[in-house]
Structure 1
Amino acid sequence: MDWKKEIKSWGIMLSIVAFLYFTGLQPVIVGGLQSVLLSTGLIKPKIEIPDLTNQQFDYHGKFLTFEGEEIDLESYRGKTLFINLWASWCGPCRAEMPHISELYKSLQNDPGLAFLLVGIDSDIKKSQGFIDGKSWTFPTAHASFGLNQSLRSESIPTTLVVNPEGEIVFYQEGMSNFNTEEFKNFLISQ
């Protein structure tokens, strides 16, 4: 009798997972749960100078805004630049975006600091569709022209900070809650 209950339980769980997967709700729900986890403050960025000795950021490259305008990376030279690479299907990317939005809102008036969140979906419409209708506030673009060597990463989300001298001073693959006083102070001090 117990094995019938066990099979029924597994059947229900597999049905739920299949439903979430085939309806496309899985990344939404997983991203929401991960965002709640980030809100606890348990996952914070490790502010250490990465072992990228003498590595200069490559300012060659362009992105396309969702309004169709080109953004040249050269225009960020001389500023502290916060860059985040994300994709619409990435749960951890979804999880950290509300926190990045709050970080941006608190620092957006600093003239020496710039933010750029770059969607890397193969189709710009997927990235745009993901951002449309969200209450998040931050500058976004799409990697329509590809990524230069400084921005190529093994996983997403990937976040990096480039100081005004063009040096990569922060590099992290994986999600984090960047909206902390420690990270704000780190950005401002660059």
Structure 2
Amino acid sequence: MNFKKITWSQISTVLMVLFVAVYLYSARMKSWVIMGLMMIGFFKPDIPQIKPGEKNQPAPTMLVQNLSGKSIDLQQQKGKVVFVNFWATWCPPCLAELPSINSLYEKVKADTNIVFVMVDVDNDLANSTKFLKNKRYQLPVYGGDAAHVPNSLFGEGIPTTIVVDKKGDVVFRHLNRAKYDDEKFVQYITNLAAEQ
């Protein structure tokens, strides 16, 4: 028998093929890779710069409900800053950004002028609440049928995050994953909450 000598190049090629195969078929692996990229500084949300005279869109009516039956209407939250995230438990980018959203929540939860609304677009509150509890996240989960959420808030995909200011205007909208516990974004949210 004539065996060829295995080289490091061949080993690394096999490992790379295995990594790509696992990445393509595993939602958990995708979310880990995305989280790693977020930790080293990728996927920071762009903080909007409002120009003088520029007007934001008012938040439309959006009614969501939590597992215990408590409802929140986005239009009735005037006087508070509302952080809304549309997500699902099967979505790798959603799962990747959850640790940073939970960290942001922990940093600002003492401020009663800031409200978090995590909208499970599958409207499977029992599953999403259990999922967050297993991860030890304290985020408030609400259900919302994606078909009944206005396109101005959510229409292109998940994760989608919006921020509504105290006047009831949508001042931030981001499609796809982001690292929300970044100091600039924390400052952005707290500054909005401090406005009169």
Relative to the length of structure 1, the TM-score reads 0.79
The alignment of Structure 1 onto Structure 2 pairs a total of residues equal to 180
3-state SS in 1 of match to 2:36: helix
3-state SS in 2 of match to 1:161: strand
Cα distance, 1:138–1:129 mapped onto 2, change above 3 Å: closer
Q: Deviations over 1:47-103 (max 9, x none)?
A: 124798441111x23112123333332442221111111111110100000011011
Structure 2 gap segments, 5+ residues each: 5-9
Q: Deviations over 1:10-40 (max 9, x none)?
A: 9x849x549x84xxxx112211221122111
Q: Shift of the alpha carbon at 1:135?
A: 1.0
The partner residue of 2:170 within 168, 171, 176 is 168
Q: Deviations over 1:97-146 (max 9, x none)?
A: 00110110010011211111111016444434533412112211111483
Which amino acid letter does the alignment assign opposite residue 94 of structure 1? L
8 Å contact 1:50–1:171 — kept in the other structure? Answer: no
Structure 1 gap segments, 5+ residues each: none
Cα distance, 1:67–1:28 mapped onto 2, change above 3 Å: farther
Which amino acid letter does the alignment assign opposite residue 186 of structure 2? K
Match of 1:183 in 2: 185
Which amino acid letter does the alignment assign opposite residue 168 of structure 1? V
Cα distance, 1:122–1:103 mapped onto 2, change above 3 Å: closer
Which amino acid letter does the alignment assign opposite residue 34 of structure 2? Q
Is 1:73 the equivalent of 2:74?
A: yes
Identical counterparts, % of pairs: 30
Relative to the length of structure 2, the TM-score reads 0.77
3-state SS in 1 of match to 2:103: helix
Which amino acid letter does the alignment assign opposite residue 142 of structure 1? G
